[in-house]
């Protein structure tokens, strides 16, 4: 498969789907430009290789047609600054004669930003005619928007059919796919997944899919208590989803049948209130006092989990093992992050993904000590669930 590195961009116009869906304040100033900086390597590489760059993105959720507050125009000065002061042209729309003329006039090394794709409902509708009109603007389609890779929209997937030989992943998407595949398709064993967070319901499909590939599955956080209750334990006022008790039991059986070792908390830090000021006690995970709740894992659990992690060669972490936003209940999550960092330093490949675990590694200063951080949210979770992502498949087919 062609990559950005192997493709000859000289004299070509590259239509690059990026995710520039950045937050803006009331003065239309960008309050977090992470998504823009993430696309820079792709833009710079193509410009350096003699291509012209046509940037396509959505911004916000426009309801019906153009709305000034969602105009990509607000991003142009900052994009120009990020590109070292290069002039960035702004198209009046993403399709139509005027836009077509601007694209046609674009020279190698120049940059044109198309107006918000979602000003046209055909974008999210995956309309083929709209995709065809977009495709007319350039010679090669580059998908560098992993955050929307799970959507079969016109610019994220459908337009691939108009570029049968000229479709590529951008560097950001390529590294996401490579890292996720390292974990999901060819893990070095033992492979351990750590699943945390508040609810088992939101992670069930991922857990089921991971049972096909992991050796160890560590369960932490709020979902612990659905499993503990399912096995007859006393969970006090801990978070629990009673509708999922049977499913929890089924997962335990499936894991056993597949030879996957489940690891649960043996002790927890229980609290008499959901607050920093709460009184706390370490108790067995299946003997939580009435009206108290388990809000973090206990010291013996930390030792057990850390041992499993330290012996692993591939590690996937999704979701905190306690209410890490409060310092009082952050100890378990911090320790897990540190165990992953230590294993990574010894040569394991570690991937951290999902909003809250990313927030946790950042909070504990561990971002540089894990192998890869996926920030793609929904798209990453769907990939972990084993689903085919239209934006990925469109390039690979």
Catalytic residue among 109, 233, 377, 378: 378
Cβ neighbours around 355 below 10 Å, total: 15
Could you tell me the end-to-end alpha-carbon distance of the chain, in angstroms, rounded to an integer?
10
Alpha carbon distance 352, 340 (integer Å): 10
Alpha carbon distance 366, 324 (integer Å): 14
| Catalytic residue status for 386 | no
What residues line the site for ligand AMP (CB under 6 A)?
196-199, 202, 221-222, 239, 294-295, 319-320, 322-323, 325, 354, 356
29: left (phi over 0), alpha (psi -120 to 50) or beta: beta
Q: What angle do CA 341, 346, 347 make, to 5 degrees?
A: 95
Smallest gap from residue 343 Cβ to ligand AMP (A) = 22
Which is closer to ligand AMP, CB of 51 or CB of 319? 319
Smallest gap from residue 295 Cβ to ligand AMP (A) = 5
| Catalytic residue status for 259 | no
Alpha carbon distance 160, 325 (integer Å): 42
Alpha carbon distance 285, 289 (integer Å): 10
Smallest gap from residue 355 Cβ to ligand AMP (A) = 7
Alpha carbon distance 96, 92 (integer Å): 9
| Catalytic residue status for 237 | no
Catalytic residue among 86, 89, 199, 254: 199
Alpha carbon distance 50, 171 (integer Å): 17
| Catalytic residue status for 347 | no
Which is closer to ligand AMP, CB of 198 or CB of 306? 198
Look at strands 280-284 and 267-271 and give their pairing.
Answer: antiparallel
Smallest gap from residue 221 Cβ to ligand AMP (A) = 3
Q: Is the dihedral of CA 310, 346, 212, 152 positive or negative?
A: positive
Smallest gap from residue 384 Cβ to ligand AMP (A) = 13
Does residue 31 have a cis bond before it (omega within 30 degrees)?
no
Smallest gap from residue 222 Cβ to ligand AMP (A) = 4
Read off the tokens for 64.
Answer: 């019906």
As annotated, the active-site residues are 35, 199, 355, 378
């Amino acid at each position: 498969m062609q990559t950005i590195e192997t493709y000859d961009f000289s004299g070509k116009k590259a239509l690059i789907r990026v995710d520039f869906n950045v937050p803006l304040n009331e003065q239309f100033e960008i309050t977090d430009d992470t998504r823009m900086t993430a696309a820079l390597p792709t833009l710079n590489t193509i410009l350096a290789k003699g291509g012209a760059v046509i940037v396509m993105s959505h911004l916000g959720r426009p309801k019906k047609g153009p709305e000034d507050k969602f105009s990509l125009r607000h991003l142009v000065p900052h994009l120009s600054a990020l590109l070292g002061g290069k002039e960035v042209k702004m198209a009046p729309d993403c399709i139509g004669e005027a836009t077509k003329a601007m694209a046609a006039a674009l020279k190698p090394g120049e940059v044109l930003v198309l107006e918000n794709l979602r000003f046209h409902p055909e974008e999210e509708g995956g309309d083929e005619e709209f995709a065809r009109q977009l495709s007319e603007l350039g010679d090669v389609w580059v998908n560098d928007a992993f955050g929307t890779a799970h959507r079969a929209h016109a610019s994220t997937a459908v337009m691939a059919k108009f570029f049968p030989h000229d479709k590529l992943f951008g560097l950001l998407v390529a590294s996401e796919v490579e890292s996720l595949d390292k974990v999901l398709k060819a893990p070095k064993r033992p492979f351990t997944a750590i699943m945390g967070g508040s609810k088992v319901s939101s992670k069930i499909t991922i857990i089921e899919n991971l049972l096909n590939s992991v050796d160890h599955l560590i369960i932490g956080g709020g979902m612990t208590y659905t499993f503990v209750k399912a096995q007859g334990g006393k969970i006090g006022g801990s978070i629990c989803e009673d509708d999922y008790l049977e499913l929890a039991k089924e997962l335990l059986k499936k894991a056993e049948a597949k030879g996957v070792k489940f690891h649960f908390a043996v002790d927890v830090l229980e609290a008499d209130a959901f607050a920093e000021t709460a009184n706390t006690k370490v108790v067995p995970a299946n003997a939580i006092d009435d009206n108290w709740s388990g809000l973090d894992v206990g010291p013996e659990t930390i030792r057990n989990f850390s041992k499993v992690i330290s012996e692993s060669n591939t590690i996937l972490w999704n979701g905190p093992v306690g209410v890490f936003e409060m310092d009082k209940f952050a100890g378990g999550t911090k320790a897990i992050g540190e165990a992953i960092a230590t294993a990574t330093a010894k040569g394991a490949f570690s991937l951290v993904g999902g909003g809250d675990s990313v927030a946790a590694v950042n909070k504990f200063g561990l971002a540089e000590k894990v192998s890869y951080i996926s920030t793609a949210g929904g798209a990453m979770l769907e990939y972990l669930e084993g689903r085919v992502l239209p934006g990925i498949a469109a390039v690979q087919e």
